[in-house]
Amino acid sequence: MAGAAFSESLTVTDREELVRLLDGVKRGDQAACRQVYLTWRPGVLRLLEGFAQLDADEREDLVQEVFTRAFRAVGNLKSPEAFDGWLLSIARNRGLSALARKASRHEVRERYAQEQDDAAELIPESARLELDISMVRRLIESLPEGPEKETVRLFYVEGELSAREIAERMGVGKSAVTMRLERFRARIRRQLMLDVLKRRWEP
């Protein structure tokens, strides 16, 4: 099995398994498609649960859409190791598009401007290597106690409640929770960039 979905890293054995599975998907082999679908479905669904504005039916529709798209485009994947992140970026973009459809026109344009399915990669490869679970944990630790930290803890660390359920529990609007999660992701990005740039100039 190709490891637990979204585990921190894939071992060599897992990599071989992943290559075999993705080759199967490219050939349209249903057993391989089924295994990939069932393995990654929970992570894709979880990502979409971070968009509090989407209800369960909408998330379910999007999951199907994400895999349809991914299976069709898997031939474009540069390396098997990139599969996790690639699949999740499809899911995030589909989620954002769905939010855009629900939002006002003004917001639609803004989102539209930020859609980035096929855009060039402006973030250096080295940045991705810096990104690991301990960096993210440190960042969560360093957040001041407050609603953002609590939201991040509930959604990412405990990983049980959907963003919509978190909004209900905390008694705030749905978009507030989505925004807190987005803000935290922005912090990770910033930290990533700072780490990379600093390292580059260190003697």
Q: Among residue numbers 170 through 189, which ones bind another protein (CB under 8 A)? A: 182-183, 185-189
Candidate ranges 14-22, 35-43, 162-170, 171-179; the one touching another protein (CB under 8 A)? 35-43
**Contact flags string 90-129 toward another protein, x per CB under 8 A:** -xxxx--xx-xxx--x--xx-xxxxxxxxxxxxxx--xx-
Q: How many residues bind another protein (CB under 8 A)?
A: 84
x/- track of binding to another protein for residues 43-72 (CB under 8 A): x--xx------------x--xxx-xxx-xx
Which CB atom, from 136 or from 167, has the smaller least distance to another protein? 136
Among residues 143, 156, 165, 172, the one that binds another protein under rule CB under 8 A: 156
- Asked whether 177 and 166 are in contact (CB, 8 A), the reply is yes
Instruction: Give the residue with the Cβ less far from another protein, 16 or 117.
Output: 117
Contact region with another protein (CB under 8 A), list: 12-20, 30-38, 143-151, 170-178:
30-38
Task: Give dist(CA 67, CA 35) in Å, integer.
Answer: 12
Q: Among the candidate windows 18-26, 80-88, 141-149, 171-179, which touches another protein by CB under 8 A?
A: 80-88
Dihedral sign for Cα atoms in the order 80, 15, 50, 145: negative
Q: Which CB sits closer to another protein, 16 or 160? A: 160
CA distance 18 to 21: 5
CA distance 102 to 85: 26
| Residue of the chain from 88, 143, 172, 176 that contacts another protein (CB under 8 A) | 88
Judged by beta carbon, residue 106 or residue 171, the one nearer another protein is: 106
Residue 177: name the closest of 159, 156, 152, 157 by CA: 152
Residues 128-147 that bind another protein (CB under 8 A): 128, 131-133, 136-137
Q: Any contact of residue 79 with another protein (CB under 8 A)?
A: no
Instruction: For residue 49, give every residue at least 6 positions away whose Cβ sits within 8 Å of its Cβ, in sequence order, or none.
Output: 59, 155, 162, 163, 164
Q: Give the residue from 33, 46, 58 showing the smallest Cα distance to 5.
A: 46
Structure tokens at 176: 């507030």
Cβ atoms 140, 27 nearer than 8 A: no
Backbone φ/ψ region at 159: left (φ over 0), alpha (ψ -120 to 50), beta: left
